[in-house]
Amino acid sequence: MAQDKVTTKDGRKPIRVWVDGCFDMMHFGHANALRQARAMGDYLIVGVHSDEEVERNKGPCVMKEDERYAAVAACKWADEVVKDAPYVTTMETLDKYNIDFVVHGDDITTAADGTDCYQHVKDAGRYKECKRTVGISTTELVGRMLLVTRDHHIRGSRTTGSPMQGVDEAAVANFSQGSMPAGALTGIAHYLSTSKKIIQFSSGHEPQAGDRVVYVDGAFDLFHTGHIEFFKRAREFGDYLLVGVHDDQTVNAIKGGNFPVMNLQERVLGALQCRYVDEVIIGAPYSVTKDVLEDVYHVDAVVHGASDQPLDIDGKDPYELPKQRGIYHEVEHPRLDLTTTVIIERIIANRQVYIERQARKAKKAVSEAEQEQREKEVRAALHM
């Protein structure tokens, strides 16, 4: 095959790694798995299952297959994406793409018949594990929407001028139109971010002399292909994309309900994993200030979507300063059919389906935990 002739800088054959999955509502947990897998080799190929394959083996996806393909392709650790990858990973797939080994998280994935999806490659000695990111999963995110909670928000004092001031939270209608019954099928996990994780996700490079720095800001909740396409278009205005991510209190004041679905730390990591993003301002002010435009880097262009923008708490346009400086630009929303609200509406419209799916996953998790415990006991007995 042609790729056999390619060598690394040190002259050896590149190690080709395979990861596959649904990657539904592609989040930073998925991205972290790709990051770890990419670090094990030189070239990462990501297989993404089709809607039909996922439906048959796991249940319905929230995101459509073309949205999932695009989301994975935008992750900076994915070198290549294979669409419609088989749900059960076979040796034929590995040989077709000249794969050295498969990487998967340290949890069990089974097909519709209950068999291990990776048993074939495990038996062949071409399987490695990476550490699963605790506290985040597609199931967890769906659960947050079904439970109608803000427990995942990062609590903090309100800063002067925050849009939270004067907001009657009790009067804000929640978006889920009802809550889960008693004995909810899933709880709220709290992802604990660390400086190490942010460093792992960061690009680590600075703008070079002569580079035009572009600034965008927003909530970037439930990071999706609409955000990706916006970042891609914004980056065309310069060479270095700086993204401001608003804190939880600010987003909740503007959107109400239990928004944001993902907290500040989670949304920052979601933005950082995107290949079009160079740097992030964590907890950026809602209004673009002189500090934003001058203190981090010298910003040459501020880009925003061409849609109605709520005013700041003082009634002023949050983009007043960049407009005065003549550096403000607008781009048409690239995916009007896909927004954070649209994703939530999909969950609500299929509420019962997802509640049943959550129940199946909870039951499966208990079963897998029991199986793992039995295996540990057997291994311990063998070593006695």
Average pLDDT value for residue range 146-168: 46
The predicted pLDDT at position 306 comes to: 85
Question: Given phi > 0 = left and psi -120 to 50 = alpha, else beta, which region is 298?
Answer: beta
Average pLDDT value for residue range 69-97: 97
Residue 329: CB atoms within 10 A of its CB come to 17
pLDDT one-digit tens code per residue, 199-236: 999 988 999 999 999 999 999 999 999 999 999 999 99
Cα distance between residue 333 and residue 25, in whole Å = 20
Question: Which structural domains are found in the chain, ordered by start?
Answer: 16-130 (3.40.50.620), 201-331 (3.40.50.620)
pLDDT one-digit tens code per residue, 37-77: 999 999 999 999 999 999 999 888 999 999 999 999 999 99
The predicted pLDDT at position 9 comes to: 78
CA dist 327 to 22, 212, 307, Å? Answer: 40, 11, 18
For residue 213, give the 3-state DSSP assignment: strand
The predicted pLDDT at position 367 comes to: 60
pLDDT one-digit tens code per residue, 12-40: 899 999 999 999 999 999 999 999 999 99
The predicted pLDDT at position 138 comes to: 86
The predicted pLDDT at position 32 comes to: 96
Maximal C-alpha separation, the chain: 76
Q: Give 75-143 as a 3 state SS string.
A: ECCCCEEEECCCCCCCHHHHHHCCCCEEEEECCCCECCCCCECCHHHHHCCCEEEECCCCCCCHHHHHH
Adjacent-strand bridge partners of 242: 215, 279
Token pair, residue 261, equals 């679905």
210 touches 240 (CB < 8 A): no
Cα distance between residue 27 and residue 112, in whole Å = 24
